[in-house]
Structure 1
Amino acid sequence: MHTGIFHDLDLNADGKTTSYLSVPFSIDRSPYFQVKVPVIRIRNGQGPSLLLMAGNHGDEYEGEICLARLSRLLEPANIHGSVTIIPFANAPAVMAARRRSPLDEGNLNRAFPGDAVGTPTQRIAHFLEQDLFPKHDVVFDLHSGGTSMEHLLCALIERQGPPEQFEEAKRLMQAMALPYGFIAENGAAAPTSMAGAARAGAIGLSGEFGGGGTATKQSMAITAQAIDNVLIAMGICDTPILSRAPLANQSMTLLKLESHEQAIYATRRGWFEPAVAVGDKVESGDVAGWYHDFERLDLAEETLHFRRGGIVLSRRLHTDSQAGDCLVQVGLLI
């Protein structure tokens, strides 16, 4: 009664079911409290299976909005096979508008493979990797830059799994038709959802679909298109479900993320002034920005330089920065 996760989903039943993943976690105001994570299951016979999830980080809204809407629109008659939708994977973080859960300070995308008797975030990660991921061909986890980061709109995969599975991951990533896609080299033991999907035998897909803790017309349209395109590329849907106005498909420029040298980190308190915009092409040695010390007005600002060339992938939105904050990052062209 006090460990693990409980649910009443029947993954083999045709039709549409809305339920909850229930995580027991005693709190001060409610000793028998359960974290409730909504889950929607749509199935129409045998066929490909896709798990769509958002809210891995609570302040990343494009995926949360799109999957909440998809859960209302998608019906068994629309699909061949099955779709599982978890619009708010770390529900406490979503409801608190935070990156991490307020219950345990858990970052779900650093919690895999999780722990069945751990904190709520650890239990959610464990259930996903051990119970849900293995029952799906593809796991598509939607992200954005969150409150503190502006991110290049791009699809994302990790170099995981056997070669044929990695090639299929690249095919599905390119099917999203975003302007950029990048491949992360995080390793098989990574604590991310995509590494967890690979360990479970599924293909992991992701993407960064916005940033700044908000949703825009562009970011919502691109997110909807990416979800529709994956559903169609997998043979689950024949026509778009989410896209209100179809966008022109774009050829994808591939990037890779393989080294900490691709980022510039703060090493002390300071105020960051960027010299570049997300999407700019830069060379090694180019000026990335300037770092100011408001507590020492007699000191000139420090000029920051890129160590690697590529495409500016992300930048910190908050000017006020602390030691350890990532200020700017580039993706290497493949």
Structure 2
Amino acid sequence: MHTGLFHEIDFDADGKTLSFLGTPYSVDRSPYYQIKTPVCRIRNGQGPRVLLMAGNHGDEYEGEIALGRLIRRLDPARVRGEITILPMANVPAVMAARRRSPLDNGNLNRAFPGSPGGTPTERLAHFLEHELFPRHDVVFDIHSGGTSMAHLPTALIEKQVDPARMDQALALLASLGMDHAFIATNGRDAPTSMAAAARAGAIGISGEFGGGGTLTPATLAATQRAIDQLLLALGVIDAPVLGPHAPADGGMQLLALDSHAQAIFATRRGWFEPAVDIGAQVSAGDLAGYYHDLNRLDAPEEALRFGVSGIVISRRLHTDSEAGDCLIQVARPVEQADILAAA
């Protein structure tokens, strides 16, 4: 009763169930305390099986708000197959508005495959990879840039070894209606939810749907459209639940991040002034911004220049920066054939 993670979910029951995952954790005020992670389970006969999750990082809100709305709106009679929804996967991080859990400083998206007897974050990661992910055909883990980064909305899948599965993953990626996307090559051994989904036999889909520790009408609309479009593409629903939606602009540009030269990092304490914003097309040598030292007002600001060409996909929102902080990052536009041909 003191290790692992416990639940009372009946995965074979039809209908809609709201329940909790319970993770025992010692606190001074309560001898039998459990971290309660809300979970919604909807099943209507046989069909596609999809897991929707948000709150992997606690300061990324588009997915949390959209999935909470989906839970309230979705009628089981409209479903064909199974949907499991985790709107706040890392509850302690969500409640603290932090990227990591305040209980163990755990980053859930770096904790897989986890451990049943480890920290709360490790226990949750173990349950997801070994118990929950294998029950689903598709895992959609919704992210955004978090409190410190503005991020260009982008979708993501991992490159699949099996060509048939890769074709299916590409079709689902395209169905989201995003303007930009990545095909990642982190591999099956990575500590992320996407690698965990692959190890569990599911197709993983993710992406950055906003940023800044907030949401906007545009980022929430894009997230809700992506959720509906994925469920429609899988055949789990036959009409939008979170819509109606404005049509996507059409066309999805694939991007690649394959070099540390695509980012500019702070190497000392300073204050970052960006010269361009996310979405800008830049060339190697273009001005990225200025780095100021407010402790030495006689020292001129340092001009920072891009080392490579591409599209600005993220920039630091906090002006005050420390050595090691990523200040700004560009991605390289690529063709699908080039990514699929790469090792």
Q: Which 10-residue stretch deviates more, 251-260 or 116-125? A: 251-260
Q: CA deviation at 1:154?
A: 1.4
The corresponding residue for 2:229 is 229
SS of the aligned residue for 2:211 comes to: coil
Establish whether residue 151 from structure 1 lines up as the match of residue 151 from structure 2.
yes
Aligned alpha-carbon RMSD (Å): 1.2
Q: CA deviation at 1:305?
A: 1.6
Percent identity between the two aligned chains:
64
Q: Check the 8 A contact 2:156/2:181 in 1, yes or no.
A: yes
1:206-251 CA-to-partner distances (Å, cap 9, x unmatched) read 1111111111110111000000000001111111001244334521
SS of the aligned residue for 2:142 comes to: strand
Partners of 1:38 and 1:306 in 2: CA distance: 43
Partners of 1:233 and 1:244 in 2: CA distance: 16
Q: Which residues of 2 match residues 27-176 of structure 1 at below 5 A? A: 27-176=27-176
Change (3 A) 1:230 1:249: farther
Partners of 1:2 and 1:214 in 2: CA distance: 36
Q: Check the 8 A contact 1:58/1:97 in 2, yes or no.
A: yes
Partners of 2:167 and 2:331 in 1: CA distance: 20
The corresponding residue for 2:341 is none
SS of the aligned residue for 1:255 comes to: strand
The corresponding residue for 1:303 is 303
The corresponding residue for 2:259 is 259
TM-score, normalisation: structure 1: 0.97
Q: Which amino acid aligns with 1:132?
A: L
Change (3 A) 1:55 1:43: same
Partners of 2:330 and 2:136 in 1: CA distance: 32
Partners of 1:170 and 1:256 in 2: CA distance: 15
Q: CA deviation at 1:185?
A: 2.5
Partners of 1:44 and 1:95 in 2: CA distance: 32
Q: Check the 8 A contact 1:183/1:257 in 2, yes or no.
A: no
SS of the aligned residue for 2:102 comes to: coil
Q: Check the 8 A contact 1:182/1:331 in 2, yes or no.
A: no
Q: Which 10-residue stretch deviates more, 275-284 or 52-61? A: 275-284
Q: Which amino acid aligns with 2:66?
A: C
The unaligned stretches of length 5 or more in structure 1 are none
Establish whether residue 328 from structure 1 lines up as the match of residue 291 from structure 2.
no
Q: Which amino acid aligns with 2:19?
A: S
Q: CA deviation at 1:21?
A: 0.7
Q: Check the 8 A contact 2:225/2:245 in 1, yes or no.
A: no
Q: Which amino acid aligns with 2:193?
A: S
Q: Check the 8 A contact 2:174/2:252 in 1, yes or no.
A: yes
Q: Would you say how many aligned residue pairs link Structure 1 and Structure 2?
A: 334
1:156-183 CA-to-partner distances (Å, cap 9, x unmatched) read 1222443322222121111111111122
Q: Check the 8 A contact 1:310/1:330 in 2, yes or no.
A: yes
The corresponding residue for 1:195 is 195
The unaligned stretches of length 5 or more in structure 2 are 335-343
Q: Check the 8 A contact 1:161/1:198 in 2, yes or no.
A: no
Q: Check the 8 A contact 1:15/1:76 in 2, yes or no.
A: yes
Change (3 A) 1:249 1:16: farther
Q: Check the 8 A contact 2:114/2:124 in 1, yes or no.
A: yes
1:6-25 CA-to-partner distances (Å, cap 9, x unmatched) read 00111121111111110001
1:38-64 CA-to-partner distances (Å, cap 9, x unmatched) read 010101111110000000011111100
Establish whether residue 243 from structure 1 lines up as the match of residue 243 from structure 2.
yes
Q: Check the 8 A contact 2:178/2:248 in 1, yes or no.
A: no
Partners of 1:140 and 1:71 in 2: CA distance: 15
Partners of 2:96 and 2:55 in 1: CA distance: 11
Partners of 1:38 and 1:198 in 2: CA distance: 24
Partners of 1:57 and 1:160 in 2: CA distance: 25
Q: Check the 8 A contact 2:137/2:202 in 1, yes or no.
A: yes
Partners of 1:222 and 1:208 in 2: CA distance: 11
SS of the aligned residue for 1:289 comes to: strand
Q: Check the 8 A contact 1:116/1:122 in 2, yes or no.
A: yes
TM-score, normalisation: structure 2: 0.95
